[in-house]
């Protein structure tokens, strides 16, 4: 049957069906480093909505699993494609179909890169706020599929807050237009929100109506504060939130992360054990807000450095942005993604320290401290995640849930967290969610084995 499927795809798409071993190998993995077992049947490079529909009609007729794919920058294995599966790439569908600064919306295809979209929007005086760290290399469709977050979320929201509608191709090839173009709209169930973060289990996103913002006017002020340790930095960040200030960015780096980045960038070593907060304010009262935040940070024991200008501010933020390359110098990493209420950040860092001791591991961690989302990095040698790391990760998930948090703030469940999904949802909700996915995809051909796999 596999041969038949590829023949059917070839008959429909010709050269846009890629079966070269290197291409098949490439779609087995995303940026998590995890790979699906086996070799996919083919990669279909869709160029239009009709291509996606035709692929899904062939897949439905032949009961072949389909894994939708954007730029493959996910961190949970959601786009990993294995033996017997079709990788359906919408990366080539990257047009901006409409920009309406007056209505603060844009209509786009899913394959456009987040950063490319914002470059196109800038001359219109508008932007799309979601800014995952991967924004230069990740697609808008992928941002929607994972419900991406980023650095600016406490002030400017997550993807769910920035999408008015999506066009979705169902497993049987039918096209649905979900959502609306108006600010308000409550006609029927909110399927747009249901699709955001559904990781390819409900359909293939082939278009989106995005909610835009005006470019933020005024200056940006960037500052850092060094603390004796990560708990002090976390307490200080919670104090900033509790003070009522609303920074655009507030990032936390623990001592191991900070030291690794300084080594990578050939900067002078930070004081031993020192953790750092990096804060940026923007908008018409950026300077006033930055002064108030600096006062809170000093009162919490921080040594504050305020950037003299925008260039110096970018240099300070570059330290945070170098986190992932720095981790790669230490070994293979499993990047985790728990999120907790902001007041629980200090306790969550205590839990990470406890788990490091308990399992004899180093777990360098950074956090989007403004919104309570932590990325602890489990570093190990070799390509496979060792059992001890999974045991420690499980302990991390339990600790986050106990603090009122969640397994994943912005990366999704994919394959890497599916084992723990029912722990957070409960069995009743887990089954209900899976049954809802079945309504969209009765044959179970859409990204099977992801999210809801037992």
Site for its own copies contains 177 (CB under 8 A) = yes
What is the number of H-type helices and E-type strands within the chain? 16, 18
Q: How far is the CB of 425 from its own copies (least distance, A)?
A: 6
Q: Among 27, 150, 35, 136, which Cα is nearest to 411's?
A: 150
Beta strands in 217-364 (DSSP E): 220-227, 249-253, 275-282, 303-306, 332-335
Between CA 204 and CA 90 the distance in angstroms is 9
Q: Which is nearer to its own copies, 29 or 422 (CB)?
A: 422
Between CA 193 and CA 190 the distance in angstroms is 6
Site for its own copies contains 411 (CB under 8 A) = yes
Q: With contacts defined by CB under 8 A, name the span among 57-65, 98-106, 291-299, 321-329 that binds its own copies.
A: 98-106
**Number of Cα atoms under 13 Å in the Cβ half of residue 184:** 0
CA 269 to chain centre: 30
Q: Which of 197, 247, 346, 448 touches its own copies by CB under 8 A? A: 197
Mask: binding to its own copies, 389-408, rule CB under 8 A, as x and -?
A: ---------------xxxxx
Q: Which of 141, 142, 313, 409 touches its own copies by CB under 8 A? A: 409
Between CA 321 and CA 368 the distance in angstroms is 12
- Residue 337 near residue 396, CB atoms below 8 Å: no
Site for its own copies contains 295 (CB under 8 A) = no
Q: Which is nearer to its own copies, 38 or 218 (CB)?
A: 218
CA 217 to chain centre: 27
Residues 101-140 within binding reach of its own copies (CB under 8 A): 101-105, 125
Q: Which of 47, 398, 430, 444 touches its own copies by CB under 8 A? A: 430
- Residue 374 near residue 366, CB atoms below 8 Å: yes
Site for its own copies contains 52 (CB under 8 A) = no
Q: With contacts defined by CB under 8 A, name the span among 34-42, 54-62, 94-102, 382-390 that binds its own copies.
A: 94-102
Between CA 351 and CA 346 the distance in angstroms is 9
Sorted by sequence, the CB contacts under 8 Å of residue 357 that are 6+ apart come out as none
Q: With contacts defined by CB under 8 A, name the span among 52-60, 63-71, 110-118, 180-188 that binds its own copies.
A: 180-188
Residues 226-285 within binding reach of its own copies (CB under 8 A): 238, 241-242, 244, 246, 284-285
Sign of CA dihedral 410, 411, 412, 417: negative
Using CB under 8 A as the binding criterion, the count of chain residues that bind its own copies stands at 82
SS3 312: helix
Mask: binding to its own copies, 137-176, rule CB under 8 A, as x and -?
A: ---------xx-x---xx--xx-xx--------x---x-x
Rounded to a whole number of angstroms, the distance between the first and last alpha carbons of the chain is 26
Site for its own copies contains 451 (CB under 8 A) = yes
- Residue 377 near residue 333, CB atoms below 8 Å: yes
- Residue 140 near residue 118, CB atoms below 8 Å: no
Q: Which of 232, 261, 437, 446 touches its own copies by CB under 8 A? A: 437
Q: Which is nearer to its own copies, 13 or 156 (CB)?
A: 156
Site for its own copies contains 414 (CB under 8 A) = no
Site for its own copies contains 433 (CB under 8 A) = yes
SS3 276: strand
Over the Cα atoms of the chain, what is R_g? Answer: 22
Q: How far is the CB of 271 from its own copies (least distance, A)?
A: 29
Site for its own copies contains 191 (CB under 8 A) = yes
Q: Which is nearer to its own copies, 110 or 409 (CB)?
A: 409
**Number of Cα atoms under 13 Å in the Cβ half of residue 349:** 27
Q: Which of 271, 325, 331, 426 touches its own copies by CB under 8 A? A: 426
Between CA 182 and CA 170 the distance in angstroms is 24
Q: How far is the CB of 395 from its own copies (least distance, A)?
A: 17
Q: How far is the CB of 436 from its own copies (least distance, A)?
A: 5
Q: How far is the CB of 3 from its own copies (least distance, A)?
A: 33
Residues 324-383 within binding reach of its own copies (CB under 8 A): 339-343, 368, 371-373
Residues 8-47 within binding reach of its own copies (CB under 8 A): none
Site for its own copies contains 194 (CB under 8 A) = yes
């Amino acid at each position: 049957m596999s041969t038949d499927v590829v023949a059917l795809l070839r008959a429909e798409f010709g050269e846009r069906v890629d079966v070269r071993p290197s291409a098949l190998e490439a779609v087995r993995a995303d940026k998590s480093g995890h790979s699906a077992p086996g070799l996919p049947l083919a990669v279909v490079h869709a160029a239009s909505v009709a291509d996606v529909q035709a692929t899904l009609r062939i897949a439905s007729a032949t009961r072949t699993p389909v894994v939708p794919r954007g730029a493959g920058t996910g961190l949970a294995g959601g786009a990993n494609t294995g033996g017997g599966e079709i990788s359906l790439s919408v990366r080539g569908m990257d047009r901006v179909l409409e920009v309406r600064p007056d209505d603060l919306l844009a209509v786009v295809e899913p394959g456009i890169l987040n950063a490319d979209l914002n470059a196109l929007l800038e001359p219109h005086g508008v932007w799309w706020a979601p800014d995952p760290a991967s924004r230069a290399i990740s697609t808008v469709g992928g941002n929607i599929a994972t419900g991406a977050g980023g650095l600016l979320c406490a002030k400017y929201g997550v993807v769910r807050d920035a999408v008015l509608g999506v066009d979705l191709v169902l497993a049987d090839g039918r096209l649905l237009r979900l959502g609306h173009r108006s600010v308000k709209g409550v006609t029927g169930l909110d399927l747009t929100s249901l699709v955001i973060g559904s990781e390819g289990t409900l359909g293939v996103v082939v278009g989106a109506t995005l909610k835009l913002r005006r470019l933020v006017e005024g200056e940006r002020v960037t500052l850092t504060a060094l603390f004796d340790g990560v708990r002090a930095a976390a307490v200080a960040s919670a104090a900033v939130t509790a003070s009522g200030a609303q920074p655009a960015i507030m990032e936390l780096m623990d001592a191991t992360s900070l030291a690794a980045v300084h080594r990578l960038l050939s900067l002078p070593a930070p004081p031993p054990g020192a953790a750092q907060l990096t804060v940026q304010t923007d908008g018409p009262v950026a300077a006033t807000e930055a002064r108030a935040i600096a006062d809170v940070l000093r009162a919490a024991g921080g040594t504050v450095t305020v950037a003299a200008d925008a260039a110096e501010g970018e240099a300070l933020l570059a330290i945070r942005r170098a986190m992932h390359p720095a981790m790669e110098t230490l070994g293979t990493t499993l990047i985790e993604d728990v999120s907790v209420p902001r007041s629980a950040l200090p306790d969550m860092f205590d839990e990470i320290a406890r788990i490091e001791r308990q399992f004899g591991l180093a777990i360098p961690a950074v956090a989007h401290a403004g919104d309570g989302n932590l990325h602890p990095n489990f570093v190990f040698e070799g390509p496979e995640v060792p059992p001890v790391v999974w045991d420690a990760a499980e302990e991390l998930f339990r600790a986050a849930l106990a603090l009122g948090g969640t397994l994943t703030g912005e990366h999704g469940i994919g394959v890497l967290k599916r084992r723990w999904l029912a722990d957070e949802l409960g069995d009743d909700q887990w089954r209900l969610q899976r049954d809802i996915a079945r309504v969209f995809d009765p044959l179970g051909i859409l990204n099977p084995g992801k999210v809801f796999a037992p």
